[in-house]
Amino acid sequence: MISIPIEKDEIIGRAVRVKTCTDPTMVGMDGIIIDETKQMFLISSHGKQRWLAKDIATFCFPHQNQKKELNGSALRFRPEVRVKKAR
């Protein structure tokens, strides 16, 4: 099986944890990404949905039995563009 880096893979539906953020109320939030735009993630966490700008946070994703930490600015693409880059 070919391994696709998470920054070039589909992110909607993945578990995520906010490791660092300029908004201290978001640090430590964990949930599922349910929507994505070029600049933002919509995260469902404990029954609530919150939008979070990608470029102000560092995210931690479980990926291939490891935790992958990514700066949100590395994910600042429209989802369809990021996925196409993997091909």
Residue 64 pLDDT: 78
DSSP 8-class letter at 56? G
6 CB contacts (<8 Å, ≥6 apart)? 14, 61, 63, 68, 70
Per-residue pLDDT of the chain (87 residues; tens, 9 = 90+): 566 777 778 899 999 999 999 999 999 999 999 999 999 999 999 999 999 999 999 999 987 788 999 999 888 888 888 777 655
Q: What is the pTM of this model?
A: 0.86
The count of other CB atoms within 10 Å of the CB of residue 63 is: 18
Residue 85 pLDDT: 64
Reduced to 3 states (helix: H, G, I; strand: E, B; else coil), residue 61 is: strand
The domain defined by 6-80 carries CATH number 2.30.30.210 = yes
Residue 80 pLDDT: 80
Residue 50, H or E segment: strand 48-53
